[in-house]
Amino acid sequence: MNRTVRSNDRYARSGKGGSTGSGRNFRSQGSGRSGGYGRRPAARQGEFALPVGTTPGLPAVTTFAELDMPAPLLAALGSQGMTVPFPIQGATLPNSLAGRDVLGRGRTGSGKTLAFG
């Protein structure tokens, strides 16, 4: 099987050689990054305030059965060995199932994909 050698070099993709073309070396302008394209200026101190919640969050659950989910879904979770939610799931699923926005942070393997995915 014949394969074409590919390069991640942007000059190779554009058809320009590294020594030909515009002759401009993009890395020669210093070792640090500039505040160029794609950068936003730093926020001024005190510009953003935390949102004020008017509705308190729903309490966390300790079992999937406490959530108002269809019986076939609970059975599917149980057949996969998932009878007790991870802490992040128990804290966020009641609110997300109620149609509320949730924000959660957790370590790898903490159950975020099931809670948010």
The pLDDT tens digits for 8-60 are: 655 555 555 555 555 555 555 555 555 556 776 665 666 777 777 778 889 99
Would you state the pLDDT for residue 52? 76
Instruction: Give the 3-state secondary structure of the chain.
Output: CCCCCCCCCHHHHHCCCCCCCCCCCCCCCCCCCCCCCCCCCCCCCCCCCCCCCCCCCCCCCCCHHHCCCCHHHHHHHHHCCCCCCCHHHHHHHHHHHCCCCCCCCCCCCCCHHHHHC
The pLDDT tens digits for 61-90 are: 999 999 988 999 999 989 988 889 989 889
Domain assignments of the chain as residue spans, ordered by start = 64-116
Would you state the pLDDT for residue 25? 55
